[in-house]
Amino acid sequence: MTRRFRRALFYFLILVFLAAGSALVLYAQGWRLDLRTGRLTEVGGIYIRSLPANANIFLDGEPVRNRSGFFQSGTLITDLFPQPYRLRLELDGYPPLERTVAVEPAMVVALESALLVPKDARTVLQGPVREFWLLSDILARDTDGKLNLQNRELPGSSVLGWTEDGNQVLTGDQAGNMFWSDIRTSISTPLAPLLRRLNLRISTSTAVFPDPFNSSNLILERPDLLALLNRDRGQFLAIASSTATSSISRTAVSSAALAWTSYSGKEKTSELTIYDKFFGNKRVISRPLPGRTVKAKWRENVLGLQQDGGEFYLYRNGDDSWTSVASDVRDFEFGPNGDRVALRNGEGLEVIDFRNEKEYRRFKLPDAGKIRGLIWLEDGEHLLLLYPDRTLFLDLDDIGLENLFPITPTSNIAYDPGSNRLYYLMDGKIFSLDLPRR
């Protein structure tokens, strides 16, 4: 072997080393040779976390091994060239879930909650039932107007409200009598003696409902008065009243505060007031809200305010003012953790994520004007859309609405986030769907 040949071989091996090393580096960085185009292309992937976890996965019709297990919560499909793929999840007892997933270079599309909905519901109450509510158990009103809970009859024929834990409920009858029932002790107490002792007369224009976070307090609301009635102490406390130019329009209760707006017909504005339930002091937010408040709701320490002109505002307890968020809003609901809010508008739905602005989503929904309610599932990734004659299931990852389908043939539903169970009333019977959970 001559010196010239050895030198040529040495340089050749160096070139091979550099080429192989570069190829390995490119491979490690996610570059692959696309045989369709003959070009080097940066690949991506799809991460799937199916519920139930043992769903069968297919990508463009080819089976993919589901790697979910004790040490891994989902399945990562790698080395996918940038293009749309057809994903399908199957499992006995569930309709298949199909979705088009567009893979981008060097990106992983994450489907964190690919939820399969059971085909069959089970009957939980034969009835005949006219209406029902979900407390710590199912409270049903039969066709005779009687309220029944856990095989016992509760006084009254209407439900006025209940506590956050669902263990205590306020009911009323057609004569205007009210009753406080403790579900755990099976004791029902009429409120008439307390009202007589305090010389209180509850008119038909007065809304009475329990403080969900304090079972001792009832809240009395009418356009000219907002008051607290403490059942245990027998105390009545008026905390707000109307003026010559304003009246109370909407009230919202949290564990720490009571908020209300007073509408001035002259100014066409609403004044927001926050009442501290622990210290008993009031704070008026000096900046008025435009228009009349039609809905107010707390989630933790954040208050959502919807105005009759469609404006939506947020107020954080302790701040000096509110923040404008959106317009043309017809309804809203906070997500289960308070980090998202769903806003229904004239065309569909907006979902705003307070933690990450990039997670903003917009959906153009069919017959959006007919939607009369929104319910979040406990995972914060799915919504139930209540139409007059059905309830649709919306996956927030399904931007193309490929899997927008009726989950129940009625909107007379109740959802229990603790068990991830959906109840609905149909043909006088109550049914339930046990939704998979993480």
For 339-381, the pLDDT digits (tens) are 999 999 999 999 999 998 888 999 999 999 999 999 999 999 9
User: Which residues, 6+ apart, have CB-to-CB distance to 270 below 8 Å?
Assistant: 249, 261, 262, 263, 264, 288, 289, 290, 291, 292, 293, 307
Asked whether residue 254 is assigned to any structural domain, the reply reads no
Q: Once rounded to an integer, what is the mean pLDDT over residues 411-432?
A: 97
23 three-state secondary structure: helix
Of 225, 241, 257, the position where a domain reaches its end is 241
Give the C-alpha distances (Å, rounded to integers) separating 39 from 19, 22, 35, 231, 300: 17, 16, 7, 77, 53
Give yes or no: residues 429 and 379 share one domain.
yes
Instruction: Tell whether 351 and 390 lie within a shared domain.
Output: yes
- Between 72 and 109, the higher pLDDT residue: 109
For residue 214, give every residue at least 6 positions away whose Cβ sits within 8 Å of its Cβ, in sequence order, or none: 277
Residue 27 has pLDDT above 90, yes or no: no
Say if residue 39's pLDDT is above 90.
no
Question: Does residue 323 fall inside a structural domain?
Answer: no
* Angle at alpha carbon of residue 57, lines to 53 and 58, rounded to 5°: 170
* Residues 50 and 94 grouped into a single domain: yes
Write down which residue in 241, 264, 299 finishes a domain. 241
Q: Span 30-41, mean pLDDT?
A: 59
Is residue 357 classed exposed, middle or buried when 0-12, 13-18 and 19+ CB atoms within 10 A define those classes?
A: exposed
Give the residue carrying structure tokens 């305010």: 305
* Neighbouring-strand partners of residue 58: 63, 88
* Same domain assignment for residues 60 and 28: no
Buried b (16+ CB within 10 A) or exposed e, 223-240: eebbbbbebeeeebeebb
Report how far residue 404's alpha carbon sits from residue 1's, in angstroms, rounded to the nearest whole number.
74
Are 338 and 419 found together in one domain?
Answer: yes
Q: Looking at the domain assignment, is residue 392 inside a domain?
A: yes
Q: Are 72 and 15 in a shared domain? A: no
At residue 26 the predicted structure's pLDDT band, cuts being 50, 70 and 90, is very low
Kindly state the percentage of the chain with pLDDT values over 90.
77
Contacts of 194 (CB under 8 A, 6+ apart): 229, 231, 234
Q: Is residue 68 part of a domain?
A: yes
pLDDT tens figures, 254-306: 999 999 999 999 999 999 999 999 999 999 999 999 999 999 999 989 999 99
Q: Quote the domain boundaries for residue 186.
A: 150-241
User: Cα–Cα distance between 431 and 183 in angstroms, integer?
Assistant: 22
Q: Taking 80 as the threshold, does the pLDDT of residue 334 lie above it? A: yes
Q: How many structural domains comprise the chain?
A: 4
With cut-offs at 50, 70 and 90, classify the pLDDT of residue 31: low
Residue 389 domain-assigned (yes or no): yes
The CATH code of the domain that includes 96 is: 2.60.40
Would 320 be classed as within a structural domain?
A: no
Task: For residue 15, count other CB atoms closer than 10 A to its CB.
Answer: 10
pLDDT surpasses 60 at 25: no
Q: Is residue 189 part of a domain?
A: yes
345 and 423 within one domain: yes
What six digits make up the tokens of 166?
A: 């669902």
Q: Is residue 134, in this structure, part of any structural domain at all?
A: no
Domain identity same for 347 and 436: yes
pLDDT of residue 200: 86
Q: What's the Cα-to-Cα distance from 94 to each of 55, 62, 168, rounded to whole Å?
A: 10, 20, 36
Do residues 385 and 419 both lie within one domain? Answer: yes
The pLDDT value given to residue 349: 97
**Domain identity same for 29 and 83:** no
DSSP character for 181?
E
Q: Which residues contact 293 (CB under 8 A, 6 or more apart)?
A: 249, 250, 261, 263, 270, 305, 306, 307, 308
Considering 241, 260, 275, which residue would you say is the last residue of a domain? 241
The two tokens of residue 406 are: 């009726």
Of the two residues 188 and 14, the one the predictor is more confident about is 188
Q: What CATH number has the domain bearing residue 338?
A: 2.115.10.10
**Does residue 348 sit in the same domain as residue 432?**
yes
Query: Are 14 and 53 within one domain?
Result: no
Place of tokens 């989902």: 74
Higher-confidence position of 69 and 411:
411
Residue 15: what are its φ and ψ, rounded to 5°?
Answer: -65, -40
